[in-house]
Amino acid sequence: MDESDREFSEQISQLQDSHEHIHRQKVLARLARIEGHVRAVKRMVEQDKSCPDVLVQIAAIRSALNGVGRVILDDHMRGCMLEALQKDNYEMAFKDLSNALDRFVD
Protein backbone atom coordinates (compact mmCIF):
# COMPACT_ATOMS: atom_id res chain seq x y z
CA MET A 1 0.00 0.00 0.00
CA ASP A 2 1.50 3.33 -1.00
CA GLU A 3 1.32 6.60 0.92
CA SER A 4 -1.76 7.95 -0.89
CA ASP A 5 -3.65 4.69 -0.21
CA ARG A 6 -2.72 4.93 3.47
CA GLU A 7 -3.92 8.53 3.67
CA PHE A 8 -7.13 7.57 1.88
CA SER A 9 -7.75 4.68 4.28
CA GLU A 10 -7.22 6.99 7.26
CA GLN A 11 -9.72 9.50 5.84
CA ILE A 12 -12.31 6.77 5.30
CA SER A 13 -11.73 5.43 8.81
CA GLN A 14 -12.30 8.87 10.29
CA LEU A 15 -15.53 9.26 8.31
CA GLN A 16 -16.86 5.86 9.36
CA ASP A 17 -15.70 5.65 12.98
CA SER A 18 -19.04 6.83 14.32
CA HIS A 19 -21.24 4.87 11.92
CA GLU A 20 -23.64 2.33 13.44
CA HIS A 21 -23.73 -0.74 11.21
CA ILE A 22 -27.20 -2.12 10.55
CA HIS A 23 -26.32 -5.83 10.64
CA ARG A 24 -23.66 -5.73 13.36
CA GLN A 25 -25.25 -8.38 15.60
CA LYS A 26 -26.02 -10.64 12.64
CA VAL A 27 -22.39 -10.42 11.46
CA LEU A 28 -21.03 -11.09 14.95
CA ALA A 29 -23.27 -14.14 15.35
CA ARG A 30 -22.20 -15.54 11.98
CA LEU A 31 -18.53 -14.94 12.76
CA ALA A 32 -18.91 -16.74 16.08
CA ARG A 33 -20.38 -19.76 14.26
CA ILE A 34 -17.56 -19.67 11.72
CA GLU A 35 -15.00 -19.47 14.52
CA GLY A 36 -16.48 -22.61 16.06
CA HIS A 37 -16.47 -24.33 12.69
CA VAL A 38 -12.78 -23.51 12.19
CA ARG A 39 -11.97 -24.97 15.60
CA ALA A 40 -13.87 -28.14 14.68
CA VAL A 41 -11.86 -28.46 11.46
CA LYS A 42 -8.65 -27.99 13.42
CA ARG A 43 -9.72 -30.86 15.68
CA MET A 44 -10.44 -32.97 12.58
CA VAL A 45 -6.90 -32.40 11.37
CA GLU A 46 -5.47 -33.15 14.82
CA GLN A 47 -7.45 -36.42 14.83
CA ASP A 48 -6.21 -37.34 11.32
CA LYS A 49 -9.69 -37.33 9.77
CA SER A 50 -9.88 -37.99 6.04
CA CYS A 51 -8.63 -35.27 3.71
CA PRO A 52 -11.86 -35.18 1.66
CA ASP A 53 -13.91 -34.63 4.84
CA VAL A 54 -11.60 -31.81 5.96
CA LEU A 55 -11.74 -30.20 2.51
CA VAL A 56 -15.55 -30.31 2.50
CA GLN A 57 -15.57 -28.50 5.84
CA ILE A 58 -13.06 -25.92 4.59
CA ALA A 59 -15.33 -25.29 1.60
CA ALA A 60 -18.25 -24.80 3.99
CA ILE A 61 -16.23 -22.27 6.01
CA ARG A 62 -15.27 -20.42 2.85
CA SER A 63 -18.92 -20.27 1.83
CA ALA A 64 -19.92 -18.99 5.28
CA LEU A 65 -17.25 -16.27 5.11
CA ASN A 66 -18.53 -15.22 1.70
CA GLY A 67 -22.01 -14.98 3.19
CA VAL A 68 -20.75 -12.72 5.97
CA GLY A 69 -19.00 -10.61 3.36
CA ARG A 70 -22.26 -10.20 1.45
CA VAL A 71 -24.05 -9.08 4.62
CA ILE A 72 -21.29 -6.53 5.31
CA LEU A 73 -21.43 -5.35 1.69
CA ASP A 74 -25.20 -4.91 1.95
CA ASP A 75 -24.70 -2.96 5.17
CA HIS A 76 -22.10 -0.80 3.48
CA MET A 77 -24.37 -0.05 0.53
CA ARG A 78 -27.43 0.73 2.67
CA GLY A 79 -25.61 2.56 5.44
CA CYS A 80 -22.14 3.85 4.70
CA MET A 81 -22.69 4.70 1.02
CA LEU A 82 -26.02 6.38 1.72
CA GLU A 83 -24.44 8.39 4.53
CA ALA A 84 -21.57 9.39 2.22
CA LEU A 85 -24.06 10.59 -0.40
CA GLN A 86 -25.88 12.66 2.20
CA LYS A 87 -22.59 14.20 3.34
CA ASP A 88 -21.45 14.75 -0.27
CA ASN A 89 -18.47 12.41 0.21
CA TYR A 90 -19.59 10.02 -2.51
CA GLU A 91 -16.35 10.13 -4.52
CA MET A 92 -14.25 9.00 -1.58
CA ALA A 93 -16.88 6.44 -0.56
CA PHE A 94 -17.03 5.06 -4.10
CA LYS A 95 -13.24 4.68 -4.20
CA ASP A 96 -13.37 2.92 -0.82
CA LEU A 97 -16.11 0.59 -2.07
CA SER A 98 -14.18 -0.17 -5.23
CA ASN A 99 -11.01 -1.02 -3.26
CA ALA A 100 -12.99 -3.20 -0.85
CA LEU A 101 -14.71 -5.06 -3.70
CA ASP A 102 -11.35 -5.68 -5.38
CA ARG A 103 -10.14 -7.40 -2.22
CA PHE A 104 -13.42 -9.23 -1.50
CA VAL A 105 -13.90 -10.64 -4.99
CA ASP A 106 -10.26 -11.69 -5.37
Neighbours of 89 (CB within 10 A): 17
Q: How far apart are CA 15 and CA 13, in angstroms?
A: 5
Q: Average pLDDT for residues 68-92, to the nearest whole number?
A: 84
pLDDT, tens digit, for every residue of 27-67?
Answer: 999 999 999 999 999 999 999 999 999 999 999 999 999 99
Ordered by where they begin, the domains of the chain are 23-105 (1.20.58.1000)
Q: How far apart are CA 101 and CA 80, in angstroms?
A: 14
Residue 21 has pLDDT above 80, yes or no: no
